[in-house]
Structure 1
């Protein structure tokens, strides 16, 4: 049963690089990026200034724009809300760890990374990446297995932020944490018993570990963190959505850096 589960998860992850960017904001970000774009599909007979501007941008860059029926877009997007546009791109190029440090160096800031431990919901991943872009994160690290990858849904939910935030895939997150610590980065996880996140100072090189929606952070990964942060709650449900928890922690680092 375990082998079958792993196989199904691997098949799901293999669909990550579908090459389809869905939705207007995500499509515009893809066109504006350096990522190779194969073609832009726009729904025929749909009048929209935003779609017109998007088509103009694409043609200026020499990208083929094709007007197609709505059912074609429905099929390409697996019946998601495509907003009348889909961009076919080359498979997403994942970053290396050095790329994440390079982005921090380019910004002239102490490194600030996110480590996502087996996040399974593509909407959570997309939302986290969107907030990461706003909060000055220099890179996101995800596992290669048992976690959602960069799918079309993730790209759409991020509203194109995946084009600006380097995303690294790691075979072993614990090994990455150990390497980050060797390079002077402090690594903090989340736990019910930990330092109040509102007193946390993230001005130093920092990596935050966000755990799985149901299981939290794996024991081995938690063991290798430098410390734990907790988000005080006064309600009856003592847990937060992974993307909400990540947002609170990211903005604590953002504000502690004087931004």
Structure 2
């Protein structure tokens, strides 16, 4: 599997969840960021092959690699039990099919200080390069927990006094800004097509919605909703 470009390759090198097996670099590529990446690769005893830009073009899907690619192994996934004791910000992401959107969601969550993201067992490995690029490398740093049963995983969170908060507008929902996010929480975000599944909604301790300042009737996309929710947590905890 290939990662393309400085941001993705650097993230894979610095990630505790991914192994890089080889780096290919344009022999004419000279810049500070690339030098840093190659130095880190040498520190990890990762083979580096200096080649031509044309040779790299032949093995990549596009021309956005910037003269640097890395061969990588599949990433490892984490266990919920390893994070419940010392973490206060989780996020369930469900029903997002597009790898670009998934990457954008991870970028917002990581920037906001999320401790771990929880998804179903969908295999994202075939789209790992796209997700890494879209997330600006955040996918490689953010702990990722895969589960076959959301209900069991959310029960584990509840047992550790972590509140389950669903982004869902219904009769029980309150405005996002009226909820106390200073306590440990897991926010749950669903895709635009199907929203959140029954298992997740049944586990919810509180549904919240994002109030609008207009008469707009449609939902925000998952990326926008995630960003608003995540940075409301940041705002309240900094305050």
> Please, what TM-score do these two structures have when normalized by structure 1?
0.80
Gap change, CA 1:136 and 1:49, over 3 Å in 2: closer
Matches within 5 A, 1:39-54: 39-54=22-37
Instruction: Provide, for residues 171-202 of structure 1, a one-character-per-residue CA deviation record: whole Å limited to 9, x for no partner.
Output: 11122122221221110111233211122211
Partner of 1:206: 185
The one of 71, 96, 101 aligned to 1:124: 101
CA drift at 1:21? 2.5
The one of 144, 159, 179 aligned to 2:136: 159
The one of 217, 230, 238 aligned to 1:250: 230
Partner of 1:144: 121
The one of 62, 65, 78 aligned to 1:95: 78
Following the alignment from structure 2 to structure 1, what is the Cα–Cα distance between the partners of residues 157 and 210? Answer: 24
Partner of 1:8: none
Instruction: Provide, for residues 106-151 of structure 1, a one-character-per-residue CA deviation record: whole Å limited to 9, x for no partner.
Output: xxxx521000112111112212222222211110001013x75661
Gap change, CA 1:175 and 1:75, over 3 Å in 2: farther
The one of 92, 101, 112 aligned to 1:135: 112
Matches within 5 A, 1:221-232: 221-232=200-211
CA drift at 1:75? 5.0
SS at match of 1:169: strand
CA contact (8 A) 2:192 2:219 kept: no
Following the alignment from structure 1 to structure 2, what is the Cα–Cα distance between the partners of residues 75 and 237? Answer: 47
Partner of 1:30: 12
SS at match of 2:50: strand
SS at match of 1:151: helix
CA contact (8 A) 2:191 2:221 kept: no
- What is the RMSD of the two structures over their aligned residues, measured on CA atoms? 2.3
Following the alignment from structure 2 to structure 1, what is the Cα–Cα distance between the partners of residues 72 and 186? Answer: 30
Partner of 2:3: 21
Partner of 1:14: none
CA contact (8 A) 1:197 1:249 kept: yes
Instruction: Provide, for residues 218-244 of structure 1, a one-character-per-residue CA deviation record: whole Å limited to 9, x for no partner.
Output: 233212211111112226462222111
Following the alignment from structure 1 to structure 2, what is the Cα–Cα distance between the partners of residues 123 and 235? Answer: 29
Partner of 2:198: 219
The gaps in structure 1 that reach 5 residues or longer are 1-17
CA drift at 1:250? 0.7
The gaps in structure 2 that reach 5 residues or longer are none
Gap change, CA 1:235 and 1:210, over 3 Å in 2: same
CA contact (8 A) 1:120 1:148 kept: no
Partner of 1:10: none
